[in-house]
Amino acid sequence: MGKLDRQRVKESSLQAVKPAKASIPEYDSSERSAVMVHRRPNFFYHLHPPTLPARESRFGYTFGLGGISLLLFLALGVTGVLEMFIYLPTLADAAASVRQIAYLAPFGWLLRNMHYWAGQMMVGTVILHMARVVLSGGYKGRRSNWLIGMALLALTLLLDFTGYVLRWDQDTAWALVMGTNLVNAIPGIGPALYRLLIGGQTVGQATLLRFYAWHVLGLALVATVLIVWHSFRVRRDGGISHRKSAPGPAPRVGREQLVRTEAIAALLTLAALVGLSVLVNAPLGPAANLSVLMTAEPRAPWFFLWIQELLRSAPVFLAGVLAPLAVFTLLSVLPYALDRGPAGVGEWFNRPGRLAQGVFLALVLAVIALTARGLLR
Amino acid sequence: MSLRSERTVAAAAIVLAVVLLAAWGRQARQPAAKQIIPTLTNRPELCLTCHDGIEEISASHPVAAFGCTTCHGGDGLALDADLAHTGMYGGRNPADLAVADVACGGAKCHSGDPAAGRDHIQRVNTSIQATYAGAIAQVRHTFGAQPDLTARMGVHAVQSDRPPSAEAVASLAAFVAHPTDPPPLQQFAANCLTCHLAAQPIAAPYFYRATGCAACHVLYDTDGLYRGGDPSISRTEPGHASAHRLTTAIPYSQCDHCHNRGNYNLPRMAFIARTDLPAPADADAPARRLAEYYQPIGQFTRCEWELDCVDCHTAQEAMGDGHIYSNQADAQDTQCLTCHGTLSEPPKLATITDPNDIALRQAQVNGKYALQVGDQVVVTERGEKLGHVRWSGDHLALTMKATGQTYRVPLVQGTACEQKPDEQASRYCHACHDHELPAP
């Protein structure tokens, strides 16, 4: 029997609903220990439970969005560390060092483009991951991990915004001035918080250094810890959230299959990331000069455009601080206030979660509509 | 084959490998950056990566000291053409009068001390070529908008910082035609403000030129094609200087891009370009010069078609002396007698004594004639020393600024010239000395 034949046999046994095991009421732990005696799982296998619910480990259920986000985060870490070897967070040299990365360092353009595009893609995959979890009831019974996920969403956006600022061109510097000014609108503690944030009375050297420190260490470290925790919670909760309603044991598959799916998704995601980076350069504008007056209206990064749109028609504190906080809070309390029960987990558009899904979709549609309006300006 | 087999993993790995190869290919095609660190700025610039082979703009502006961005602005560290060229002063031409203050100005450069003659930009803005004051005054007077020919308006508002003088006005307002002005004046405003240093050139052979300082100091060929060494500048697209070079050795053909290019139809307020160009191919140099430069209505004497315009129309006359004159005649300082003298007087001479004399700097920048302390040179009525017209022991010698060719200047004194002492304008000289073409 050739290797391929063996593989086919192995696959067919994994893919099928495993009729032999279907009659076993509980997963046979003796079989598991037998496997472990024969072959100690390697690191990647070890990160997964030995077996997983077959239905929910299909790519079509999760679309690999959590894993892809994790991969992008790792890519951001690697390319970011390499960029740190050149980038200088000073008013005099920031723009020049960005140009050194973009134009002079061998493969510097690739690093910068990958870092940029991975950051953009991650905002997308993280939000889609959240949407999948909401719409398939994945948060049910895992409310603490939902909160960790919410924190990771906030961290992703803050990491993107601080990174956007480090580019230090005309657009991003004025977006920084405008964005940080929102803090000033908070009654009472606003001005103090603002000074803490930008490191003085006006945006300048201290601001750049602070945003750099937040970007490469402060936020990145917290995000790393929370991502590990987030993944650990999934692993500890028995892998991917899955349907419990069907009578009898759900069919399960071995982790080898999931790891293979993940490998394919990872390779193709990397290929897409590198391909995009080869074809489309990350934006770069004229070096920031805060001593001249702003000539054009600065544009927020796309994921904050909806806030910029709100700011056009509402008071600063309301539109720039309260509204984003309200959206974030509402999302965070979904499993606490709108859909507390465990029923419907693992089911797309499950009935008990309709209210939560409706609120979520309404928020998403509102944000998308405002973003589109901002993009079309 | 299952979508999740190891084969699919291998296929995905191959896709990634192909994309990585594409990345490698892009890196391999990147041009090797060519970096300079100009001594004046000490900031690296990469412009020469693409503009490799461009001519040094002039000996006075060595690229090793100035680099590119000192004069041109832009983003010297960007290798992306769009970004690199963002924020350039005046696009291709930093010497446009709208940006010359930023690009060419500065206390140590061309908006410096008037006493040292370094206030070029302020002076140019007062000059008749920049204000167009003469034409505006003439037309406004003709159509009854002002009672005399004294200039009141220019294409831009300007004030003189010089002490008042009898021939000059203190300031000009910006010229705009009012709805109550006679229709010809409104047509003039709409059609005719095209012949000054800030006006955009007509995009046609003979008319190709730059604006501002570069209108005179950067030479354009008749066909407007670039003939220099910068591989990134088109050689087939007209509208480029012939080379990236500043010069004070300005041949008559450069002045030709604006002057004597056609006639004005006053009833229609329209410009009618000449149709008698180019000169016949078999014309010899003086005949070609006469044909190309002069229209067949004028009278001209030999030095006017053998010398270049800049040999008589001095720096202060063409670029302004800081005073605002009402017209070209008031601005003009050089007459026939400046070099030839009169029956009773030799030309006025002055000795160069100050090693910082502007005339010495002009000679050094021009490079076609030599001048040193102790030399005696012709001096104009208003006191401008003409370094290229020098007393050479026993005779007066003029060296052409554009070609370096030297002429012995004939003096009136002691000849049989029939001039009257009070008739020194060129038209009186032309009565006898018309054309003086060599016999065919």
Q: Would you list the DSSP string of A64-113?
A: THHHHHHHHHHHHHHHHHHHHTT---STTTHHHHHHIIIIISTTHHHHHH
Angstrom distances, CA of residue A300 to CA of A155, A315, B220: 17, 17, 46
Could you tell me if residue A337 is inside a domain?
A: no
The answer to whether residues B172 and B151 touch, using CB atoms and an 8 Å cutoff, is yes
Please indicate, yes or no, whether residues B273 and B393 belong to a single structural domain of this protein: no
Cα–Cα distance for residue pair A288/A168, rounded to 1 Å: 6
Q: Please judge whether B83 and A284 are an interchain contact, meaning their C-beta atoms are less than 8 angstroms apart.
A: yes
Q: Please judge whether A99 and B78 are an interchain contact, meaning their C-beta atoms are less than 8 angstroms apart.
A: yes
Between strands B349-351 and B324-325, the pairing is unpaired
Please indicate, yes or no, whether residues B132 and B265 belong to a single structural domain of this protein: yes
Could you tell me if residue B212 is inside a domain?
A: yes
Which two tokens mark B317?
């006359």
A41 preceded by a cis bond (ω within 30 of 0): no
Report the DSSP beta bridge partners of residue B36.
Answer: B45
Question: Chain A to chain B, count of Cβ pairs less than 8 Å apart?
Answer: 86
User: What local confidence, expressed as pLDDT, does residue A40 receive?
Assistant: 76
Q: Please judge whether A287 and B15 are an interchain contact, meaning their C-beta atoms are less than 8 angstroms apart.
A: no
The answer to whether residues B120 and B183 touch, using CB atoms and an 8 Å cutoff, is no
| B324-372 confidence digits (pLDDT tens) | 999 998 999 999 999 999 999 999 999 999 999 999 999 999 999 999 9
Please indicate, yes or no, whether residues B196 and B266 belong to a single structural domain of this protein: yes
DSSP state of B268: T
Please indicate, yes or no, whether residues B290 and B151 belong to a single structural domain of this protein: yes
What SS3 state is found at A48? coil
| A255-267 confidence digits (pLDDT tens) | 888 889 899 999 9
Cα–Cα distance for residue pair A98/A168, rounded to 1 Å: 8
Report angle CA A241, A246, A252 to the nearest 5 degrees. 55
The answer to whether residues A81 and A291 touch, using CB atoms and an 8 Å cutoff, is no
The answer to whether residues B97 and B106 touch, using CB atoms and an 8 Å cutoff, is no
* Domain total of chain B: 2
Q: Please judge whether B87 and A286 are an interchain contact, meaning their C-beta atoms are less than 8 angstroms apart.
A: yes
User: What local confidence, expressed as pLDDT, does residue A2 receive?
Assistant: 45
* Domain total of chain A: 1
Q: Please judge whether A263 and B12 are an interchain contact, meaning their C-beta atoms are less than 8 angstroms apart.
A: yes
A340 CA: distance to closest CA in chain B (Å)? 36
Q: Please judge whether B15 and A271 are an interchain contact, meaning their C-beta atoms are less than 8 angstroms apart.
A: yes
CA dihedral B318→B321→B322→B326, nearest 10 degrees, is: -60
Q: What ranges in A141-218 are assigned the alpha helix state H?
A: 143-166, 170-184, 190-198, 205-213
Q: Please judge whether A11 and B20 are an interchain contact, meaning their C-beta atoms are less than 8 angstroms apart.
A: no
What SS3 state is found at A204? coil
Spell out which chain A residues touch chain B, with contact meaning CB-CB distance below 8 angstroms: 7, 11, 15, 95-96, 99-100, 102-104, 106-107, 109-110, 257, 260-261, 263-264, 267-268, 270-271, 274-275, 277-278, 281, 284-287
Reported as a pLDDT band with limits 50, 70 and 90, residue B440 is very low
| A70-84 confidence digits (pLDDT tens) | 999 999 999 999 999
Q: Which of A12-16, A79-83, B145-149 has the lowest mean pLDDT?
A: A12-16
Angstrom distances, CA of residue B284 to CA of B158, B280, B291: 44, 9, 10
Could you tell me if residue A215 is inside a domain?
A: yes
User: What local confidence, expressed as pLDDT, does residue A46 receive?
Assistant: 83
Please indicate, yes or no, whether residues B372 and B263 belong to a single structural domain of this protein: no
Which of B196, B24, B201, B170 has the alpha carbon at shortest distance from B97? B196
With a pLDDT cut of 70, the percent of chain A lying above it is 88
Q: Which long-range contacts (CB under 8 A, 24 or more apart) does B255-258 make?
A: B255/B216, B255/B309, B255/B310, B256/B206, B256/B292, B256/B293, B257/B201, B257/B206, B257/B207, B257/B208, B257/B209, B257/B215, B257/B220, B258/B195, B258/B209, B258/B215
Domain that holds residue A276: 52-292
Cα–Cα distance for residue pair B252/B300, rounded to 1 Å: 15
Q: Please judge whether B46 and A104 are an interchain contact, meaning their C-beta atoms are less than 8 angstroms apart.
A: yes
Partners of B77 on chain A (C-beta within 8 Å) are 95-96, 99-100, 103
What SS3 state is found at B218? strand
Which of the two residues, B376 and A51, has the higher pLDDT score? B376
User: What local confidence, expressed as pLDDT, does residue B108 receive?
Assistant: 87
Could you tell me if residue A311 is inside a domain?
A: no
| B400-431 confidence digits (pLDDT tens) | 999 999 999 999 999 999 888 888 888 898 88
Could you tell me if residue A264 is inside a domain?
A: yes
Please indicate, yes or no, whether residues B181 and B267 belong to a single structural domain of this protein: yes
The answer to whether residues B299 and B346 touch, using CB atoms and an 8 Å cutoff, is no
* Facing residue for A103 by CB, picked from B2, B18, B78: B78
The answer to whether residues A284 and B83 touch, using CB atoms and an 8 Å cutoff, is yes
Q: Say whether pLDDT at A6 is over 50.
A: no
Report angle CA B115, B328, B387 to the nearest 5 degrees. 45
Q: Please judge whether B77 and A100 are an interchain contact, meaning their C-beta atoms are less than 8 angstroms apart.
A: yes
Please indicate, yes or no, whether residues B369 and B284 belong to a single structural domain of this protein: no
Tokens 């353009």, residue? A109
User: What local confidence, expressed as pLDDT, does residue A246 receive?
Assistant: 62
Sign of CA dihedral A148, A149, A154, A158: positive
Could you tell me if residue B99 is inside a domain?
A: no
B21 shares contact with chain A (CB less than 8 Å)? no
Report the CATH number at residue A137.
1.20.810.10
Could you tell me if residue A102 is inside a domain?
A: yes
For residue B9, give the chain A residue with the closest CA: A264
Give the containing element (helix H, strand E) for A376. helix A354-376
Report the DSSP beta bridge partners of residue B351.
Answer: B376
The answer to whether residues A308 and A300 touch, using CB atoms and an 8 Å cutoff, is yes
User: What local confidence, expressed as pLDDT, does residue A197 receive?
Assistant: 93
Could you tell me if residue A41 is inside a domain?
A: no
Report the DSSP beta bridge partners of residue B377.
Answer: B350, B390
Could you tell me if residue B237 is inside a domain?
A: yes
Of B309, B343, B359, which closes a domain? Answer: B309
Partners of A86 on chain B (C-beta within 8 Å) are none
B4 shares contact with chain A (CB less than 8 Å)? yes
Could you tell me if residue A85 is inside a domain?
A: yes
User: What local confidence, expressed as pLDDT, does residue B303 receive?
Assistant: 86
B79 shares contact with chain A (CB less than 8 Å)? yes
For residue A271, give the chain B residue with the closest CA: B16
Please indicate, yes or no, whether residues B185 and B281 belong to a single structural domain of this protein: yes
B203 shares contact with chain A (CB less than 8 Å)? no
Could you tell me if residue B75 is inside a domain?
A: no
Q: Say whether pLDDT at A3 is over 70.
A: no
Cα–Cα distance for residue pair A225/A155, rounded to 1 Å: 11
Which of the two residues, B275 and B99, has the higher pLDDT score? B99
B208 CA: distance to closest CA in chain A (Å)? 31
Of B257, B274, B309, which closes a domain? Answer: B309
B72 CA: distance to closest CA in chain A (Å)? 15
Please indicate, yes or no, whether residues B265 and B367 belong to a single structural domain of this protein: no
Please indicate, yes or no, whether residues B349 and B411 belong to a single structural domain of this protein: yes
Could you tell me if residue A327 is inside a domain?
A: no
Q: Say whether pLDDT at B106 is over 70.
A: yes
Q: Which residues contact B435 (CB under 8 A, 6 or more apart)?
A: B290, B299, B300, B301, B302
Could you tell me if residue B1 is inside a domain?
A: no
Which two tokens mark B148?
């005399």
Tokens 């300079």, residue? B36
Please indicate, yes or no, whether residues B265 and B157 belong to a single structural domain of this protein: yes
Domain that holds residue B377: 333-430
Q: Please judge whether B46 and A257 are an interchain contact, meaning their C-beta atoms are less than 8 angstroms apart.
A: no
Mutate to test the interface with B, among A103, A117, A292 (most CBs of B within 10 A): A103
* Facing residue for A103 by CB, picked from B15, B18, B77: B77
Q: Which residues contact B152 (CB under 8 A, 6 or more apart)?
A: B137, B140, B146, B169, B172, B173
User: What local confidence, expressed as pLDDT, does residue A22 receive?
Assistant: 43
Q: Does the ipTM surpass 0.85?
A: no
Stretch B390-409: mean pLDDT: 94
CA dihedral A110→A112→A116→A117, nearest 10 degrees, is: 0
Reported as a pLDDT band with limits 50, 70 and 90, residue B167 is confident
Could you tell me if residue B63 is inside a domain?
A: no
Q: Which residues contact B237 (CB under 8 A, 6 or more apart)?
A: B225
